[in-house]
Amino acid sequence: MNWRQWMRQIGAVLRLELKKALFSRRAWWIYLLAAAPVVLCGAHALVMTQKRAWHGMAEDNIAFAAIYHIFYLRLGIFFGCVGIFMNLFRGEVLDKTLHYYLLAPIRREVLVVGKYLAGLAAAGAYFILSTAASCLLISSHFGEAYRDFLLRGPGLQHLGWYLTVTALAVIGYGGVFLLMGLLFRNPMIPAGLVMVWETNNWLLPAAAQKVSVIFYLTNLTPVPVPPKGPLAILAVTPDPVSAWLAIPGLLLVALTLVVLAALKARRLQISYAD
């Protein structure tokens, strides 16, 4: 089989899986995750328009950075990727439909790549659009001053970095949870362990922090959010990693995870009685 046939098969799997990921009944809560910060930022802009803003754009930039670090990276994108990528194979097992793919004349590696790309497209559609809408809405009540900030200031650059980090988060976490969905019968337990590791990463030693996805993502965000609260004194701040290392590193890790998932899929055997 040549590369053209493989690409056609990947495209066929991608189209089929994308419909499932976007319109499945299991996806309703991911819509809510993606919509929540958009509603919050839109409501903020609407209220401030009515009451006249009593703060500056700098405060809004810091507020959005906090929303992005706390909600998007540690909750929204993380759990969205859990729901999308773990169900790429586990969902088929629960629906008792995976055997149709396994009986088809298609290489397992092609199936994994097609499903992964569908997961990327779906998660990207949810969270890249959500990030863009939230970022553009939160300070929209400043009117002309906000347009100047976007077009003549650093606004569009900040937006570009937020969208880049969102895409990298989907790519990285997607690879992690795709592999987990193939390795574990009940992947929610290891997913919970990954959540604890990623969420509390800032409390770990500097060397341990680098064995995570969140460390490299937070290094790329345009507005840093230092730890606050009683545990802030325990936070460890390692040397930042440049974008030239962080971006290729995340992509390489994701590629490695997808290759491991493809190798696992080669030996995949299913039993709906499990």
**HEC readout, 212-248:** CCHHHHHHHCCCCCCCCCHHHHHCCCCCCCCHHHHHH
**In a domain? residue 44:** yes
**In a domain? residue 271:** no
Confidence class for position 229, pLDDT limits 50, 70, 90: low
**In a domain? residue 177:** yes
**In a domain? residue 272:** no
**In a domain? residue 71:** yes
**In a domain? residue 107:** yes
Confidence class for position 124, pLDDT limits 50, 70, 90: very high
Query: Burial of 132 by CB count in 10 Å (0-12 exposed, 13-18 middle, 19+ buried)?
Result: middle
Q: What is the domain count for the chain?
A: 1
**By C-alpha distance, which of 57, 221, 62 is closest to 139?**
57
Q: What digits encode the pLDDT tens for the residues 234-249?
A: 566 677 788 888 899 9
pTM: predicted TM-score of the whole model, two decimal places: 0.91
List the domain range (segments joined by +) for residue 105.
3-266
DSSP code per residue over 25-85: GGGHHHHHHHHHHHHHHHHHHHHHHHH--SS-HHHHHHHHHHHIIIIIIIIIHHHHHHHHH
Confidence class for position 1, pLDDT limits 50, 70, 90: low
**In a domain? residue 273:** no
pLDDT given at position 273:
58
Contact 18, 118 (CB under 8 A): yes
**In a domain? residue 274:** no
